[in-house]
Chains A and B, each alone.
Chain A
């Protein structure tokens, strides 16, 4: 039995997972079950950050991964974000880096510049 706090939403449900049967309890919704099973096998996180731009009125633009990445890839993705400078005015959802750090997700803008 493993106890977890669900981070899928602000409810923060206290989950219990039976590692043998994969039975999850304590979750208020299906997101909790999905989270718990992933957390005991391959924990993933979505990453949000900022990337520098060339524009004075908006020196950084907020970005996110458009899916979750394995927890141990967070810092290698951060390293990639440091390498570039945005030179184009972007809109929410525009891809800034495709398949970042071979993590099978894209870095997308979360702000209209």
Chain B
């Protein structure tokens, strides 16, 4: 079989994949961009709200506008785009990869020297959070509701309960209210909101939608269609408190209970994943521990800003074109006050001058001090007045002076 050969195959045409394919083509690589939907842009297509691009474009853009800017950039260079194309399998060979896919022309294959995984993330569903009761229609994720309203022009609910206070849930609370639905309330099992503070303000407070912290849905009712949910208070270990149950009538339960990086293809390639991010373990070039396989965007770790997703796509795209001969990996470790740090490894033989770190804290902290060490030497330190788990932090550091160290560590001290 004669297969077309590419330098780089980018899997996923959302913001990460678009940025990766753009940068790699600009650097002269022959790039294949594979997207399963009929058009590029990924989930941005259905995010009609604004707030995108504040960092990247110094402008407040809506999702579709941000996506279009990225698509326009991509179209300045030549890339081979495979739309409505679903990757079924990637096989590693001695010096390249075979990518098998299906599309309207049937099953086909291409070859590529390097793979960039930009497969985004998936929403957690009711099955993954163990909601009890019947199995009626009307239990859907916030992203599904968003797709119905913003792309298909259909209203999935007249009166709903939203479980979880992630950003999409907050944004959908506002969106459904604007479209005439009644949002009874947003219920969050944790004691703090899961989304950005600005979304709590502009999506809930502006529309007088109540937010109930330390509450969860313990049961759903309804045979064909949902007709009510049972809400319970939860204790500090998030266990429902007996006797606190109340029944709330509604036709839909909308879930915004977290996002998980999509890594089915990564698993096929035996790419080791990080238990904290659920994405691949990578070095600063965003290469995974499987040589020549890169990961970026929400597939790597769930970002709260599309701007950072694009940035990581650019890093992966550029580094997939760079000539890096050796991998001399050292660990980036963290203390327990940090939920995760990406990258988890540093390749001392790869460029170190513009190393970008992303991290999240495990809990909300005031007056915390972050110190980054290379062995025992202090590389960087910074005081933070306020750190919240939903708000990812980013640092860009020059690590060239530490190219002979044995490892880096992130230490966050709280209450200093």
Chain A residues within 8 Å of B, Cβ to Cβ:
5-10, 12, 14, 45-50, 52, 59-60, 62-64, 71, 74-75, 78, 92, 110-112
Contacts and interface: CB of A to CB of B under 8 A. Distances in A.
13 contacts: A5-B201, A7-B202, A9-B54, A47-B178, A48-B48, A49-B179, A50-B48, A50-B150, A59-B152, A60-B152, A62-B48, A71-B206, A75-B178
Given A5-B198, A110-B65, A49 B48 contact: yes
A5 B54 CA distance: 17
A78 B176 CA distance: 12
Nearest 5 pairs of A and B residues by beta carbon: A60-B153, A62-B48, A12-B197, A111-B64, A12-B198
Contacts of B197: 5, 12
Nearest to B149: A50
A50 B48 CA distance: 8
B168 to A, nearest CB: 14
Given A5-B198, A7-B201, A52-B153, A14 B51 contact: no
A9 B386 contact: no
Contact of B178 (A7, A12, A64, A78): A78
Interface of B: 48-51, 54, 60, 62-65, 68, 149-153, 175, 178-179, 196-198, 200-202, 206, 304-305, 386, 391
Contacts of A7: 198, 201-202
Contacts of B175: 49
Contacts of A52: 153
Contacts of A71: 206
B50 A62 contact: no
B198 A48 contact: no
A111 B71 CA distance: 12
Among A5, A59, A78, the one with the most B-chain Cβ atoms within 10 Å of its Cβ is A5
B64 A110 contact: yes
Contacts, number: 76
Contact of B386 (A14, A60, A78): A14
Given A60-B151, A92-B65, A12 B48 contact: no
A63 to B, nearest CB: 8
Given A5-B197, A9-B54, A46-B60, A111 B68 contact: yes
B208 to A, nearest CB: 12
B171 to A, nearest CB: 10
Nearest to B45: A111
A48 B152 contact: no
Given A14-B386, A59-B153, A60-B150, A9 B64 contact: no
Contact of B48 (A75, A92, A110): A110
Contact of A62 (B62, B201, B202): B62
A6 B175 CA distance: 20
A34 to B, nearest CB: 13
A25 to B, nearest CB: 12
Nearest to A52: B153
Contacts of A60: 150-153
B198 A62 contact: no
Residue in B50, B64, B391 with the greatest tally of chain A CB atoms within 10 Å: B64
A52 B49 CA distance: 17
Contacts of B304: 10
Given A5-B197, A6-B198, A7-B198, A48 B68 contact: no
